[in-house]
Amino acid sequence: MDEVQDFPEMMDTHQVARYLRIKERKVYELLKERRIPCTRVTGKWLFPKGEIDAWLKRNSASPSDAPRQGPAPMVVAGSHDPLLEWCLREMGGGLAVLPGSSMDGLRQLAAGEAAVAGIHLLDPESGAYNLPQVQDVLAERNVVLIEWAWRQQGLVVASGNPLGIASLADLATAKARVVLRQEGAGSRLLLDRLLAEAGIAPDALVTAKVPVRSETDVGLAILEGAADAGLAVASVAKSLKLDFVPLHRERFDLAVDRRAYFEPPIQTLLAFTRTVEFARRAETLGGYDISGIGAIRWNG
């Protein structure tokens, strides 16, 4: 693998793109806008490494123009998934967690602040999962999109389903208190889409004032009586002994920095998903289809 010290003092376009961990077309955009240190020798653009380093320091507050230098930190950002959370805890270290939303994860991956982003983003136009958003937000990065699992999303409700909720429409008619995820969360975007498809205006729902930041927090809000329903994965309902109304099957993927993909922590994670212990845990949690786990869905 390329390390920072392996780069020559005078880099060509391909080398500086690798050094900055951006695509070559971004280098040419910076050249056109005269925003990157360079020199031209016999018709060829060259980039003095010392000047590039100084430029990075000057632009450290502007990650879109000067991405984080060097290898991405071994951090898993983005959306919460109970199976992934368990896996990272049990596999024996090497990967830190920075919880947030799917969109948070993509932005942190784009800025070089994380090596992995967990995402489940349904594209409203194509109906595809994750790839359109990855190609948009991470257009200047080299990223591998790996399938994690298909998950069952639906309404988590109190044990026994006391309000008799069987559909999204019932949330409005029963005046159920609905707990929401934060803006940018895949579950929040999915709920907005499902409501639109059902012809239900978001303001027709009685919603909790403060959104929550994980799948588990949705279930806990219902368990503690702070809400009557919320959209989350089936495994949350099962683990908290709550009822579940299935609504949608979705794909959860891991967007991984291509250089980081070959690092030991990422390979350890992928190896752990092939163990009997992992398969048993997925079955115990419920609502998971891991038959395609590890499949490369895109290599950009």
Q: Which two tokens stand for residue 57?
A: 């320091």
What is the Cα Rg of the chain in Å?
A: 22
Q: Which two tokens stand for residue 261?
A: 């993909």
Q: What is the pLDDT of residue 68?
A: 56
Residue with the two structure tokens 């907005």: 192
Between the alpha carbon of residue 91 and those of residues 21, 84, 98, 119, the distances in Å are 28, 10, 17, 20
pLDDT, mean of each 10-residue run, the chain (300 residues): 62 87 81 71 75 70 52 90 94 84 93 94 90 91 96 98 98 96 92 94 92 93 97 97 98 97 95 97 97 95
First to last CA, the chain: 18
96 neighbors 112 (Cβ within 8 angstroms): no
Between the alpha carbon of residue 257 and those of residues 87, 105, 114, 177, 287, the distances in Å are 19, 12, 8, 40, 28
Check: pTM over 0.85? Answer yes or no: no
Q: What is the pLDDT of residue 60?
A: 54
Residue with the two structure tokens 């999204």: 168
Q: HSE of 86 in the Cβ direction (CA atoms, 13 Å)? A: 16
Q: What is the pLDDT of residue 4?
A: 41
Q: What is the pLDDT of residue 189?
A: 92
Q: Which two tokens stand for residue 240?
A: 């908290």
Q: What is the pLDDT of residue 50?
A: 77
Q: What is the pLDDT of residue 292?
A: 98
Beta strand 39-41 with 44-48 is antiparallel
- List the domains of the chain with CATH numbers: 6-58 (1.10.1660), 75-149+251-299 (3.40.190.10), 152-249 (3.40.190.10)
DSSP characters over 6-52:
GS-SEE-HHHHHHHHTS-HHHHHHHHHTT-S--EEETTEEEEEHHHH
Alpha-carbon span 134 to 123, nearest angstrom: 11
147 neighbors 250 (Cβ within 8 angstroms): no
202 neighbors 192 (Cβ within 8 angstroms): yes
Between the alpha carbon of residue 132 and those of residues 115, 124, 137, 144, 189, the distances in Å are 19, 10, 9, 13, 15
Residue 230 CB burial class (10 angstroms; 0-12, 13-18, ≥19): buried
